[in-house]
Chains A and B, each alone.
Chain A
Amino acid sequence: MSTSAPAADGPLTDDGLVQLLTPAGERVSHPEYDTWAEDLDADRLRAMYRDMVLTRRFDSEATSLQRQGELGLWAQSLGQEAAAVGSGHALRPQDHVFPSYREHGVAHVRGLEMTDMLRLFRGVDHGGWDPAEHGFHLFTLVIGSHTLHATGYAMGVQRDGLVGTGDPTRDTAVVTYFGDGATAQGDVSEALVFASVNQAPVVLFCQNNQFAISEPTTRQARVPLAARAPGFGIPSVRVDGNDVVASYAVTRQALERARSGGGPTFIEAFTYRMGAHTTSDDPTRYRTSEQEEHWRRRDPIERLRVHLERTGELPEVFQAQLAAESDAFGEHIRTTVRAMGHPAAHTMFDHVYATPNAVVDAERAWFTQYEQSFVDHDGRQTAGGHR
C-alpha cells in the first residue's frame, strides 16, 4: 500500500500498478498483496471467470437491445469486467455498494436480477431494484454525487458501532465506484475530505477507464489519480484493473482496513473502456484502432482463461456448461426486457413525497379526470391518448 505519490509523469503511467496476473496469464508474486489473494483457489478463480463471462454477455445483450430500439441508452462495461468482478468478490453481504452506472459486474456478483438494471435504460422506471436487498444502491447520473452518499452512509455505519468490533459478520464497509472523469468533480473532493476527517469506513474505487466520454484522463488530472488521495490523508493504491486477482486483493485489503476502523482507502483501477461511453457515443472520433488493439491484448477475461487452462483448472465440461448458461442468460435478458410493461401514465404522480401532498394530489385528480374524459360509457377510448 503506497501512501506516497506515484511517479508524476501523467495519469496514464503504468508505474506502480499492482499486478498478480500478467496479460499473458502468468501468476506473479507481489510482496504485499499475495496474502490478500491466498484464498483464491481454483474454484474461486473459476467463479470469477464465470462472473466475468456472464457480465460480458449481459453487456453485449444490452448493447444489442439498444441497437434494436428496445433500450433508450446503454453504458457498456466491455473490458472493465475484472475490476468490477474482482472487487465485488471481496465484499461481504453486510457491505454496501454505491455504484456508478457501469458497475454491471459488481451488480452481478451482488446477486441483482440483472435485467432490473435495464428498467432505467428502457424508460420504465428510474431505479429498478431495492437497494437494501443486495446492498447495492441506485445509480446517480450526476457524476460523483454518490461518493458523498457513500461517505455519509459510511459515517452512519461508524455511528452504528459496526466498525472495528472484530466480528466478521458485523464489521461493515462501504464502497463507491466512480470513473476518472468524476475525480474532477467537486463532490468527489468533498467526499475525500469528509471520508478523511471522519475516518469513515469507505473505499473509494476509481475505475480509470481513461475516458470521460471523449476526454482523456489527462484532461482531468496532471498526476496519476491515486496520487491525489494522500493529499487528503487517504492512502491509495494503483491496481491493474484488467487483473481480476489483483483487483480482488487490493479491494480486500482496503475493505478490511475500513471494517477494522482504519478509515478510507482510494483505489485507482487502471483499465480501458473497450466500448463507447454509451451507445450514443462514437469513440472512433477520439481514439485509434491501434490503441484499442493494444488494450484488447490485455483483455481481463482472456488472461484468466489462459491462466486457468495452463494450470489445468478449466475443464472442457466447465467451458461447455458456461457457454450454455451464457446462452440461456442471453435469452432470459432478451425476453425479460421485451416483456417489461408500459407504466400507466398516472404513476408519474406516485412517490413524489412519502406523505400526502395537496398539490400533487390535486394534479393527479385532474389528470385522472382528464384521462377519463376520453373513455365512453362502455369503457372504450374515444379520442386523445396521443403520447
Chain B
Amino acid sequence: MTVTSDRARLTDLPPAPAPAPFPTGTQLLPMAKALNLGLRRALANDPRTLLMGEDIGRLGGVFRVTDGLFAEFGDDRVVDTPLAESGIVGTAIGLALRGYRPVCEIQFDGFVFPAFDQITTQLSRMHYRSQGRLRMPVVIRIPYGGGIGAIEHHSESPEALFAHTPGLRVVSPSNASDAFTMIQQAIASPDPVIFLEPKGRYWEKGHVDLDAPLPAPHGSPSDLDHARVVRSGTDVTIVAYGPTVATALKVADAAAAEGTSIEVIDLRTISPLDTATIVASVRRTGRCVVTHEAPVLYGSGAEVAARITEECFYHLQAPVLRVGGFHTPYPVSKIEHDYLPGLDRLLEAVDRTLAF
C-alpha cells in the first residue's frame, strides 16, 4: 500500500503502542467491542478494505468503535476525513470504483442526511445503471436510535428512508455476536450496506465466538439475509430489530409471568425483508406486534404488517399492531423514554391484541 510521499501525514504525535494480539475463543463482549473486532478482522484479511469517517483515527471514533485500528493499520487504512458527509460517501464511491472496499462511519444518525443524496442517487444504483458492470462494496455504518440522553439529531432512526431505496441492503444487529459477524458480512458484500448500529446497546455484553468461520457473504442464502426467532412462543409474535429486540425479550419475560407465551423475531435485515420467517411465526401465533423506534407512520413496521395481512389473513386473530415512535421529531431527551417503545407500551399492545 503506497501513498505518495507528499501526501499530508499525521506524524506529530508519538507512535501508539503495538496492538494486542487478536483474541480467540468465546468471550463476553460489549457490542461496541465486537464491532471493533469485526472491523479489525476485516482490515487484516483484505488490504483493500479501509475505514473512513470523522474522528475515527486517533480518537477511535466518538463511540470508540474503531479504537486502536488507526495504530494498527495506519492512516491509509483508517482515514480521518474532512467533516463532510457527502464527501465521505462520494469519495467512498470513487474508491469502490477503483476496487477498494470502504467502510464509512457516519458519526450520528441525524448527520447522514448531508450524504443522503450520494447514498440514494449514486451508491444505491451504480450497479443497476451500469448493467451490473460496476459494483459498490461500500458499508455505511450509522450509530442510530435513542435512549442515551443525547441532544437533537443524535437519536434518530432513519432506516425506512434507506429500506425504501432499491439497491441498498439495510441491516441492524441487536447483539454482540451478530454485530461481530454481520459487520464482516456487510464488508464482504458486493452490494452497498447501510449498517445501523443501535448505539443504546453498544455497551450491552454478549457471548461472541471469535473463532467462528465467517458465513458466506450474503446474497446466496446466508445468515445476513435471514431473520431469526430469538425466543419461541405460541400466543403472540413480536417482530423487532436492533435496539428493540432486547426490549421485546423483556416483554416476553414479563408476559410469561402472566401466562402469555410470546415469540420474538429479530429481523436483523430490514431490507430485504425475510417475510418467510415472519409468516411462519404469525401463522402459528395468530397475533403480531411490530416494534421499532422510528415513527410508526410509513415506518418499516407498516411493511411488515402489510406483508402479514397479505399472507396470513385467515390465520390472524387480531390486526397487526405497531409500537414505535410518534409522528414528531425526536423529542428532547428528558422525555425520550415516553417516545421510545418501552416495556409498558409493548405490553399494552400485547394486551390489546389478545383482547380481540
Contact = CB atoms under 8 A, between A and B. Distances in A.
Contacts of B90: 145, 147-149, 151-152, 187, 190-191
Interface stretch (A33-41, A103-111, A131-139, A279-287): A131-139
Interface in B198-223: 217-220
Contacts of B5: 164, 261
B131 A125 contact: yes
Interface stretch (B36-44, B122-130, B150-158, B253-261): B122-130
A199 B4 CA distance: 9
A158 B4 CA distance: 7
Given A152-B90, A352-B166, A355-B218, A131 B99 contact: no
Interface string B67-100: 0000000001000011010110111111111111
Given A145-B118, A193-B84, A352 B98 contact: no
A142, A261, A352 interface centre (most CB from chain B within 10 Å):
A352
Contact of B272 (A160, A350, A359): A359
Interface in B111-158: 114, 117-118, 121-122, 125, 127-135
Contact of A137 (B2, B76, B97, B274): B97
B1 interface: yes
A261 B4 contact: yes
B37 to A, nearest CB: 24
Nearest to A263: B6
A157 B2 CA distance: 10
Contacts of A354: 127, 132, 135, 190-191, 219
Contacts of A163: 4
A261 to B, nearest CB: 4
A267 interface: no
A132, A161, A354 interface centre (most CB from chain B within 10 Å):
A354
Contacts, number: 173
B16 interface: no
B86 A160 contact: no
A10 B91 CA distance: 31
A149 B130 CA distance: 15
A158 B163 CA distance: 34
B225 interface: yes
Contacts of A154: 94
Contact of B91 (A137, A194, A350): A194
B275 interface: yes
Interface in B18-61: 50
B3 interface: yes
Given A142-B117, A148-B93, A190-B90, A355 B6 contact: no
A131 B93 CA distance: 14
A191 B100 CA distance: 18
Interface string A307-339: 000000000000000000000000000000000
B196 to A, nearest CB: 18
Contact of A152 (B97, B121, B128): B97
B273 interface: yes
Interface string B171-183: 0000000000000
Interface residues of B, number: 59
Contacts of A263: 6
A145 B96 CA distance: 15
Contact of B84 (A194, A261, A353, A357): A194
B8 interface: yes
A154 B93 CA distance: 11
A194 B82 contact: yes
Contact of B97 (A153, A158, A186, A191): A153
Interface in A336-382: 350-360
Given A142-B122, A159-B2, A191-B90, A152 B98 contact: yes
Interface in A127-184: 127, 130-132, 137-138, 140, 142, 145, 147-161, 163-164
A198 interface: yes
A360 B99 CA distance: 26
A297 interface: no
Contacts of B117: 142, 145, 187
B271 A359 contact: yes
Given A145-B117, A145-B121, A351-B128, A155 B218 contact: no
B7 interface: yes
Contacts of B76: 159
Contacts of A152: 90-98, 102
Closest 3 CB pairs of A and B: A355-B219, A152-B94, A148-B90
Interface of B: 1-8, 50, 76, 81-82, 84, 86-87, 89-100, 102, 114, 117-118, 121-122, 125, 127-135, 166-167, 169, 189-191, 217-220, 225, 271-275
18 contacts: A130-B133, A142-B121, A142-B122, A149-B90, A155-B95, A156-B97, A156-B100, A159-B95, A163-B4, A191-B90, A199-B6, A199-B8, A261-B4, A261-B6, A263-B6, A354-B219, A355-B190, A360-B166
Interface of A: 125-127, 130-132, 137-138, 140, 142, 145, 147-161, 163-164, 186-187, 190-191, 193-194, 197-199, 261-263, 350-360
Given A145-B117, A190-B82, A357-B169, 9 more contacts: A125-B131, A142-B117, A148-B89, A151-B94, A190-B86, A199-B8, A351-B131, A351-B132, A358-B272
